Structure 1
Amino acid sequence: MLTARDVMTHDVETVEPDDEVGDVLTRLGKAQFNGFPVVDSERGDLVGIVTQGDLVRLFKKTDRAFWIPVGLPPFLETVTYSVDVSGDDFDVDVDRPISEVMTTDVVTVAPDDDLDRLLELLSGEINRLPVLDGDTLVGIVTREDLIRAVRDERAEA
């Protein structure tokens, strides 16, 4: 049976809690993936994870908009338009630390966790699983890693 150790990416790109949001956005824009584990390099501990979703939420302006439902005959359903009433541009502070926007409740797995556990966790809203050996980050398993491993295992059978 495949384990996290068998399918994980070993060379994990990470960011640190004090890295600035703007720097992480730049790195993420150049990356072939959509999130970074956040590791405190002094302690070597995984302290969070930051994803595209965490960063995109910084740019949502829903609290400064109101919604207007519009319906004109002969249409049976209305169409809702959002109108920004602030007149401001985005006011995202990209100089603040990533620790202010990262997710701290990180779901992790151990190197010996089996395929069923990985499938269970990655079949929901989670897209990546940091692999910890004790408190040390040793790899990461993404949905893509898991799909590729299952494909390769079936091809060998």
Structure 2
Amino acid sequence: MMKVTEIMTTDVETCTKDTSIQEVATQMLNLDVGSIPIVDTNGGSLVGIITDRDIVIRGIAANFTLDTPVGQIISSELVTGTPDMDVEDAATLMADNQIRRLPICEGNKLLGVVSLGDIAVKDPTDRNAGAAIEDISKPSQSND
């Protein structure tokens, strides 16, 4: 079984809760990513994640200004994986929670991020990656 540590991105750009919506959006543009992990200013512990969708739905649509700290709009209910997790288990966790990126943490310390793309590229024949993509792409049952 392949472990998530074999395929995860370890050079992950982060920001803090004090970073402005504008700065995070610019960071996403420059890095060509759709999410940025949020860490505390002290030890780098993961405290949340912000997605491009958070910026649009919780930020712009809620009339926050671009200089608003992202701490006001981040997703703080985190789903995380561990470094000893199998890729198959990560894909299942991502599918069950309809997420495309899974922060990998030891305790609260961010070690890296696994994306569906990482899983699909590493083994294009992996049925779990395909199932995860299919499950994540289904409309959620919430009233969002």
Q: Would you say how many aligned residue pairs link Structure 1 and Structure 2?
A: 124
1:5 Cα deviation from its structure 2 partner: 0.6
Indicate the residue corresponding to 1:137 in structure 2.
110
> How high is the TM-score relative to the length of structure 2?
0.79
Q: In the alignment, residue 130 of structure 1 is paired with which amino acid?
A: P
SS at structure 2 position matched to 1:93: coil
Question: What is the RMSD of the two structures over their aligned residues, measured on CA atoms?
Answer: 1.8
Q: Which has the larger radius of gyration?
A: 1
Aligned pairs for 1:46-125 (under 5 A) are: 46-57=46-57, 58-60=59-61, 91-124=63-96, 125=98
1:60 Cα deviation from its structure 2 partner: 2.8
2:68, 2:39 → 1: CA distance?
A: 17
1:42 Cα deviation from its structure 2 partner: 0.8
Identical positions, percent: 31
Gaps of 5+ in 2: 127-144
SS at structure 1 position matched to 2:49: strand
Which aligned segments of 4 or more residues in structure 1 are displaced greater than 6 angstroms? none
1:152 Cα deviation from its structure 2 partner: 8.6
SS at structure 2 position matched to 1:131: strand
Point out the more displaced range, 130-139 or 101-110.
130-139
1:22 Cα deviation from its structure 2 partner: 1.1
Higher percent of residues as strand: 1
2:13, 2:67 → 1: CA distance?
A: 21
2:34, 2:107 → 1: CA distance?
A: 25
